[in-house]
Structure formats: C-alpha cells, structure tokens
C-alpha cells in the first residue's frame, strides 16, 4: 500500500455539505436514508425484497429472496421471472412513450434522437432479426461496436430474447476480441464497419474478421452495422448487414421471460493472471442494483438529461448507459467520439447544446480537460448541470475541486462513486441530498451495502486512517455470480482470502474520523490506466509473445493524467541493442503490445535490460522495479542480487 497516497490524502480536510436547495428536492433525504439503513440492518433480505417488488416488473413474482445454499455463489429472487428489456422499455410505453430515451451525437457532428417508443421498436426489430438467425435464450452474442445507439439496441435486443451479451470495447485489438469470443463460445458477433474516434475511423469489421479467422468455430453469423460507410468485405453465408436483417421485421417482439438468475451478460475484466475473467451478471439482481443506484446516487428525475461518458464496453456503460437510466425512464446522452475532437471543449459543448443536467465521467478525463485551462469550459453555458459524478479510480483533490468549481460552478454536488465490474452497481458513494462530500473520498456505503476495512487476519481496522483490505460483509443483489466457465477462479479471487467470510474487492482503503472511505488503490497485480483495469501479467504475456523478448516485468508508475502509466522491463533473446537500434526496437515493442491487446495497453516506457532482479527463490523483485520506475530512492535490500550492476541498467544508465 502506498504511503504517498495515504499522506497526500490525509492533508485533505475540506468538507462540502449539500445546499439547502438541493436537499429540498432530493429523492433521498436524511430521514429517508436513516429509515432505509435501519431497515437494511434489521432485515437485509426484507429490505432488498421490498425494493425488488417496487422497482422491477415481474412476470412471475419471486417467493425466495436470498439463497445462501451454495454460498458464496449467492442466488437472489431465484424463482422469480422477468425480462430486462421489458423493464427498460415496455414499462414506460403506457405513460411516456414519446419521452426522449437517447440523444446521440456522433464524432463528426451527426445527431439523432430516439423516443422510448422508437427505441422499443428498434430493439424489437433487431430481436426478431436475431431470432431469424437462430439465436435464442442462453446463446452468447459478442458485441463489438462504436458508441452509437445501436450498441444499446443490440444489448437490449439480446436481453429481450434471453441471449447473453458480451460487449468487447471497440478499442480492444482483434487478438483480445478473439480470446473473448473463444471463451464465451459466441454464436454471433454484432459489429459495425467502423466507428469515429479521435478524428480517425476505427475499422471494427476488419478486426472482427481477423479475430474469427482463427479458432472461432462457434461463430455462425456476423451482423454488421453501416456506420462510417467505409468499404468492408462481407463473407457470403455468414455476414449480414444490420439494415437488411431488420428490414422486414415487425417492431413488436414478445420478451422471453427468464429466471432472475439467468445470466444477462458476461463482461471481461483483468485480474492478476494473463487471462481476463468473464464476469457473469444476473438478470434480476443486476437490474435492481443498476436502477436503484441510478435513482439514489444521481437523484434522477423525469426531466433530467443524464450523460455518463463511459463506453458500453465497460461496466459503467452497462449500468449507467444501457440499463440503469433506461430502467429509470430517463433521457440519456450518448457520444461516439473523443473529448478532444474538434477541440477540448467538446464535452462542454455537448452539455450546453443537449442541456445535460447530470454528468458522470472518469478522473482521467477530468484531469486531461483541466490541463487545457479554465477558458475552454468558460466558453460554454453549463448552467443546466445540477450534479456531477466520477468513477473508475481515485480522484486527486485538485481535480475534484476543479470539477466542482469550474464545471459545476460551485453549486453541483460531486459524487465520487466506488464500485467494480464485479459489484455491478455503485457501492460506496455520497447521496447528493444527504452526504457532505470531501474531495478524494467516496464517502459512505449505500444502504444495504455492508462495506468494511479489515487487516491481514480479517479483523476490522478501527483506527482512523489506517489502511487495510476493502471487503463487503453481506451479499447484495447486483453482485457477480461467477466467472464464466471457471467458478473456482471466482471463489479463489474474491472469497478465499478470508475463508469465504466476505467479498474481497482487491482494493486497499482507509477510513477517516467521520468513517468516510478513502480508496488507496489495488493490492493485486492490477494496474488502473486511465480508469481501465489491466493486469500486469496480460502485458507481460503480450511482450513475451514477441520473438525478440525472453522475459518481461511490468509495473505501474504514477501519471499526471492517466493516474497510472505502464512501465515494462524487457530482457531480450540475444544481444541488447544500443542507441538508435534500441529506440527502434522499443517502439516496435510498444506497437506490438497495442496490436496484441489494444491501444490502452501500450506501455509508456520500455527499458531493455540484460536481467531482471530476482530473489533467491526466483521471484521478480517487483517492489524494486516499481521504485526504479518511479525514480524513488531504493530502500529494498539489493544484496541478494546476482549481478548488482543490473541496477544501473534498470535505471537506464547502463
């Protein structure tokens, strides 16, 4: 656990209570919160059961709330039946079919608006098309799309017929896509000719072709959306244009009601081994968590325009673009491209033009936009904003203050939300009408969430500001159910550390004198680069797959904008080149990793060395490598190093 992190945060003592105007209108006030907390403490199952009955529309009501029989593989509302797409779309048709569901803006400037009625129709047409392709309940469908409304339509259409979607972020490489298609055993891939990002066209169909070319025998069909108009090769018998598939389909499609535990989706995330994990989420519990937290944390109301900037390739885009806000009947904004196109004012221009009231983004974006200066947001009217949120990594107090003052005009509460792919929904976060916020703290657990900090032996850490493992003591409905195809790994990763007593998040945290949580970072070999999780092992495996590389060790170092940057030490086969040849090889390796895993995994630094520092038992001394990457004094014992001169090389001096 990092000392610096702890110290810098400890100096923070600013506190911002919600203002009276906000409190007066908030969905959850102090009284309501106390009642909910008391209820959850008194009877956790009854607490969640009541909410599940109120918030979701059940085709068949559940009689059992929580099944602990196979703990920690908990089951929620298991004998109930429902459909997620029904709960996001059909439930709104009687009362507000003409309300805007999606306000879309493409990177080139094109725009679209879909009402709930239109979105429902599009989802039904695609769902019928998928059925025509032979896709049914339980089949896996991989979605590899740009951030356009069709990405949400594809997810909802899968949910409508009980198919299990697995969205792969469009920035991932063909290689990563192939791994995920193989692991899911998908029968269908839904993609697009391409997407617009950063002023360039990202060729998704070409990458999808490359992915399935080798060892993806389960894939029978590919549906291709025309987005950029770039020419693509269509394989006869396998590939269908989206527009052709839905052309003659009716805009009604009866939903397939599934058991509450039926998997809604798989989403891959990095862990401490080279192989990403397919996190499996349920239909009932997940949807309940996504909807409730949208209403509680973002205080969402009918007239709100909610913009969560996350791509649907991440969990944030699942819970706070596709499922939560639609289940809550809100209007969402979707933007296809980069925040820097045509200039660093794009986010603020969208907020102004589309009248965004609630805005949710990542610290890395906030820091990047902050760096461009206050003049850019000052050119835009941001007065419609009433609430700001952040997610994905710890936010430094300076960026938090900038966000609050410059973007929120000092009047919008800032909710720093802690959660994970595995938790499905926000777990620790301010409630904007109740909680006083502190820059850099995600504050307190939501009602029904029993978060704690424990020491090595699982005993609660009660001392102020003392770090420990962040754990969750009681199950919650939106928790991951398992890792697809590898339940043992699920048990080992999240439950074994404390003998199944509680869920271990893999983060370290401490609490201050008010009981507020401060997340300090990961405790495993997982990096958090620009809010995205990457396993050091994944990058190492990609590096050693290069013919010139014998061995590699990857660590993180702090980065001003991205939070963490990737630093790789590489031992080559054969001689180590010098000068220009070394520089050329380093560039080649960086490009190689980007090709293998996707651009987000491209190492920032690569240092070529003759050896890696190892302990006598052969373990790589990662702490030492981390200190060197950070340019810190070396405090570790280096006397066991076989060849002490290696230190100069690791520092880049030899």
Q: Which is nearer to ligand PRX, 438 or 522 (CB)?
A: 522
Q: Which is nearer to ligand PRX, 194 or 413 (CB)?
A: 413
What does the alpha-carbon distance between residue 51 and residue 291 come to, in Å, rounded to a whole number? 10
What would the two tokens of residue 89 be? 């779309």
Residue nearest to ligand PRX (CB): 421
Using alpha carbons, select from 432, 455, 457 the residue that is nearest to residue 444. 432
Q: Which is nearer to ligand PRX, 258 or 601 (CB)?
A: 601
Helix (H, G, I), strand (E, B) or coil at 595: helix
Q: Which is nearer to ligand PRX, 315 or 585 (CB)?
A: 315
What does the alpha-carbon distance between residue 31 and residue 475 come to, in Å, rounded to a whole number? 25
Q: Compute the radius of gyration of the chain from its Cα atoms.
A: 24
Q: Which residue shows structure tokens 């899911």?
A: 184
Closest approach of ligand PRX to the CB of residue 470, in Å: 8
What does the alpha-carbon distance between residue 443 and residue 649 come to, in Å, rounded to a whole number? 43
Helix (H) or strand (E) holding 316: helix 315-317
Q: Which is nearer to ligand PRX, 402 or 419 (CB)?
A: 419
Q: Which is nearer to ligand PRX, 157 or 442 (CB)?
A: 442
**Which three-class secondary structure string do you get for 410-474?**
CCCCEEEEECCCCCCCCCECCCCCCCCECCCCCECECCCCCEEEECCCCCECCCCCCCEEEEECC
**Cis preceding linkage at 342, omega within 30:** yes
Closest approach of ligand PRX to the CB of residue 105, in Å: 23
Closest approach of ligand PRX to the CB of residue 366, in Å: 12
Strand 277-282 to 563-572 pairing: unpaired
Closest approach of ligand PRX to the CB of residue 515, in Å: 17
Closest approach of ligand PRX to the CB of residue 414, in Å: 11
What does the alpha-carbon distance between residue 105 and residue 335 come to, in Å, rounded to a whole number? 5
- Annotate 506-544 with b (16+ C-beta within 10 A) or e (fewer): bbbbbbbeeebbbbbbbbebbbbbbbbbbbbbbbbbbbe
Task: State the DSSP code for 240.
Answer: E
Q: Which is nearer to ligand PRX, 531 or 603 (CB)?
A: 531
Q: Counting beta carbons within 10 angstroms of the beta carbon of residue 324, is it exposed (0 to 12), middle (13 to 18) or buried (19 or more)?
A: buried
Closest approach of ligand PRX to the CB of residue 420, in Å: 4
Q: Which is nearer to ligand PRX, 205 or 277 (CB)?
A: 277
What does the alpha-carbon distance between residue 533 and residue 392 come to, in Å, rounded to a whole number? 9
Q: Which is nearer to ligand PRX, 76 or 517 (CB)?
A: 517
Closest approach of ligand PRX to the CB of residue 546, in Å: 27
Q: Which residue shows structure tokens 């389909």?
A: 249
Closest approach of ligand PRX to the CB of residue 66, in Å: 24
What would the two tokens of residue 384 be? 């419609």
Work out the angle at residue 500's Cα, subtended by the Cα atoms of residues 497 and 503, and round it to the nearest 5 degrees.
Answer: 75
Report yes or no: 284 and 303 within 8 Å, Cβ to Cβ: no
Query: Any residues with CB less than 8 A from the CB of 322 and at least 6 apart, and which?
Result: 88, 152, 155, 156, 312
What would the two tokens of residue 234 be? 């269509």
Closest approach of ligand PRX to the CB of residue 522, in Å: 5
Measure CA 476 to chain center.
19
Closest approach of ligand PRX to the CB of residue 314, in Å: 6
Using alpha carbons, select from 474, 490, 52 the residue that is nearest to residue 284. 52
Q: Which is nearer to ligand PRX, 79 or 512 (CB)?
A: 512
Contact set with ligand PRX (CB under 6 A): 269, 315-316, 391-394, 416-421, 442, 505-507, 519, 522, 528, 533
Q: Which is nearer to ligand PRX, 224 or 312 (CB)?
A: 312
Closest approach of ligand PRX to the CB of residue 104, in Å: 23
Closest approach of ligand PRX to the CB of residue 320, in Å: 9
Closest approach of ligand PRX to the CB of residue 437, in Å: 12
Q: Which is nearer to ligand PRX, 121 or 413 (CB)?
A: 413
What does the alpha-carbon distance between residue 603 and residue 555 come to, in Å, rounded to a whole number? 10
Closest approach of ligand PRX to the CB of residue 421, in Å: 3
- Annotate 192-203 with b (16+ C-beta within 10 A) or e (fewer): bbbbbbeeebbb
Q: Which is nearer to ligand PRX, 435 or 528 (CB)?
A: 528
Report yes or no: 282 and 422 within 8 Å, Cβ to Cβ: no
Q: Which is nearer to ligand PRX, 253 or 310 (CB)?
A: 310
């Amino acid at each position: 656990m990092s000392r610096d992190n702890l110290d810098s945060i400890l100096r923070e003592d600013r506190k911002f209570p919600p203002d009276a105007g906000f409190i007066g209108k908030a969905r959850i006030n102090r009284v309501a919160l106390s009642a909910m907390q008391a209820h959850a403490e008194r009877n956790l199952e009854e607490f969640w059961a009541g909410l599940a009955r109120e918030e979701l529309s059940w085709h068949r009501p559940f009689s059992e709330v929580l099944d602990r029989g196979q703990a920690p593989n908990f089951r929620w509302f298991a004998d109930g039946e429902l459909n997620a797409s029904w709960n996001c779309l059909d439930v709104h048709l009687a009362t507000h079919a003409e309300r805007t569901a999606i306000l879309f803006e493409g990177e080139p400037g094109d725009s679209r608006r879909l009402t709930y009625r239109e979105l429902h129709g599009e989802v039904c047409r695609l769902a019928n098309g998928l059925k025509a392709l032979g896709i049914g309940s339980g089949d896996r469908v991989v979605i590899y799309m740009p951030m356009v409304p069709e990405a949400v339509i594809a997810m909802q259409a899968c949910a409508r017929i009980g198919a299990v979607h697995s969205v792969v972020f469009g920035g991932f490489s063909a290689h990563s896509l192939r791994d995920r298609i193989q692991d899911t055993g998908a029968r269908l891939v839904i993609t697009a000719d391409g997407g617009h990002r950063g002023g360039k066209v990202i060729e998704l169909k070409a990458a999808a072709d490359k992915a399935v070319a080798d060892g993806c025998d389960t894939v029978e069909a590919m549906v291709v959306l025309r987005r950029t108009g770039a020419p693509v090769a269509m394989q006869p018998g396998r590939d269908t244009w989206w527009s052709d598939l839905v052309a003659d389909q009716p805009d009604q499609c009866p939903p397939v009601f599934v058991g509450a535990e039926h998997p809604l989706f798989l989403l891959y995330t990095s862990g401490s081994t080279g192989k990403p994990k397919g996190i499996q989420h349920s239909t009932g519990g997940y949807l309940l968590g996504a909807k409730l937290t949208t209403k509680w944390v973002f205080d969402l109301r009918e007239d709100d325009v909610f913009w969560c900037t996350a791509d649907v390739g991440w969990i944030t885009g699942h819970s706070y673009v596709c499922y939560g806000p639609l289940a809550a009947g809100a209007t969402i904004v979707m933007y296809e491209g980069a925040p820097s196109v045509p200039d660093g004012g794009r986010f603020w221009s969208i907020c102004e033009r589309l009248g965004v009231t609630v805005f949710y983004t990542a610290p890395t974006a906030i820091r990047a936009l902050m760096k461009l200066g206050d003049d850019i947001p000052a050119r835009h009217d941001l007065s419609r904003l009433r609430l700001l949120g952040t997610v994905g990594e710890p936010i430094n107090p300076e960026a938090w203050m900038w966000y609050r003052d410059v973007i929120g005009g000092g009047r919008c509460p800032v909710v720093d939300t802690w959660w994970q792919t595995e938790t499905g929904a926000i777990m620790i976060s301010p409630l904007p009408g109740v909680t006083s916020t502190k820059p850099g703290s995600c504050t307190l657990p939501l009602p029904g969430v029993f978060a704690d900090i424990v020491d090595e032996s699982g005993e609660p850490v009660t001392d102020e500001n003392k770090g420990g493992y962040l754990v969750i003591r009681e199950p919650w409905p939106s928790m991951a159910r398992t890792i697809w195809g590898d339940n043992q790994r699920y048990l080992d990763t999240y439950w074994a550390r404390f003998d199944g007593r509680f869920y271990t998040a893999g983060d370290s945290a401490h609490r201050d004198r008010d009981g507020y949580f401060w997340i300090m970072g990961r405790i495993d070999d997982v990096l958090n680069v620009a809010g995205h999780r990457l396993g050091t092992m994944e990058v190492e495996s990609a590096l050693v797959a290069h013919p010139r590389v014998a061995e590699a060790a990857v660590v993180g170092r702090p980065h001003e904008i991205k939070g963490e940057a990737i630093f790789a030490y590489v031992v080559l086969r054969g001689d180590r080149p010098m000068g220009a040849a070394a520089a050329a090889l380093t560039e080649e390796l960086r490009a190689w990793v980007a090709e293998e895993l996707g651009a987000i995994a491209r190492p920032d630094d690569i240092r070529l060395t003759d050896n890696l520092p190892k302990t006598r038992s052969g373990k790589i001394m990662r702490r030492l490598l981390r200190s060197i990457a950070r340019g810190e004094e070396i405090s570790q014992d280096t006397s066991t190093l076989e060849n002490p001169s290696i230190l100069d090389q690791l520092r880049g001096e030899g």
